[in-house]
Structure 1
Amino acid sequence: MSLSPGIAVDIVRADYLGGYRLCLTFSDGHVTTVDFKSFLRAALHPDIAKYCDESLFRAFTLAYGNLVWGDHELCFPIGDLYAGKVDHRDGTNDVLEVAETHAAYIREEK
């Protein structure tokens, strides 16, 4: 299920299910389970990869209707979370692409 254009929703509840899975409840009543494992395992940027540590992963919070880790070090577009897809390989999430582009830029400067 995906969000309709122009519809605003917030995450109102996030429950840790084990591993890298969270059950997310949205303000419109939609509930989905999101598995972050493949996204995190593929992360090249250390600020993202550090959340492979399950104790850090479990330290997520909800801030203004968004799911965040740390001081907004890791967050995802709400539409991707609503659809339950954060795997960079399916093309629905740009977070890893941005991190990889930044990492490539840093490597080029050295």
Structure 2
Amino acid sequence: MSELSVVNAKHITGHILDIEFNDGHISTVDFATFIFSVGHPDYEAYKKIDGFLNFDIVDGNINWDDYTMIFPVEDLYNNKIIKHI
């Protein structure tokens, strides 16, 4: 199997995205808990929906503001985004 990658992301509501991967799998991921618990000033912009929706798919991953916020593709696939301490 080729390397897992994101091919599409669709906004559902709030901070929730449906993320489609190159193997056809779709994960519904809610980023709110992560964004609102991080406490770092770089993430403040993503608390507002307009800021959160300002992402691109770059090199098979979802990327916010030139890598200010990015997650391992496998974590998105398994819907296991967590706050790393």
What is the TM-score of this pair, normalised by structure 2? 0.91
Distance in 2 between the 1:40 and 1:49 partners?
A: 8
Identity percentage of aligned residues: 34
Count of aligned residue pairs for this structure pair: 85
Query: 2:42 aligned with 1:47, yes or no?
Result: yes
Please state whether the residue corresponding to 1:61 is helix, strand or coil. strand
Q: Which has the higher helix share?
A: 1
Tell me the SS of whatever aligns to 1:68.
Answer: strand
Question: Can you give the 5+ residue segments of structure 1 that lack an aligned partner in the other structure?
Answer: 1-5, 89-93, 98-110
Report what 1:59 is aligned to: 54
CA contact (8 A) 1:21 1:35 kept: yes
- In the TM superposition, structure 1's runs of 4+ consecutive aligned residues that sit over 6 Å from their partners are none
Coordinate RMSD, CA, aligned: 1.5
User: Is 1:26 aligned to 2:21, yes or no?
Assistant: yes
Question: Where does the alignment leave 5 or more consecutive residues of structure 2 unmatched?
Answer: none
The structure carrying a bigger strand percent of its residues is 2
Q: Which structure's CA Rg is the greater one?
A: 1
Q: 2:32 aligns with which of 15, 37, 41?
A: 37
Structure with larger RCO (C-alpha < 8 A, sep 6+): 2
Specify the code of the residue in structure 1 equivalent to 2:45.
K
